[in-house]
Amino acid sequence: MEEIIPDKSINIKGLVCPYTFVKAKLAIESMETGQILEILLDYEEAARSIPKSMEDHGQKILKVEKINDTDWILQIRKAKD
């Protein structure tokens, strides 16, 4: 599978709700439509809720991947301003 190069990456490890989605949302707000945000996190609930909320807001989820025992990587394309 082709590797996606994100335009912006944020590390929100150690953060819990509602910080997790707030940080993710502020990051995506600051980006241009079409750009890709990568999020590194270790809060399992947010690994489910961030993609769902982002989709509700019209963004495109490219990847939700558990990369080790504790961490997830999300990739989201900004589809809507």
| Burial of residue 8 (number of CB atoms within 10 Å: 0-12, 13-18, 19+) | middle
* Candidates 1-9, 39-47, 50-58, 64-72; binding stretch for another protein (CB under 8 A): 50-58
* Candidates 3-11, 33-41, 51-59, 66-74; binding stretch for another protein (CB under 8 A): 51-59
Task: Build a one-symbol-per-residue string for 24-43: x at contacts with another protein by CB under 8 A, - elsewhere.
Answer: -xx--xx-------------
Rounded (5°) CA angle 61-30-38 = 35
Rounded (5°) CA angle 73-56-75 = 20
Interaction site with another protein (CB under 8 A): 18-19, 21-23, 25-26, 29-30, 53, 56-58
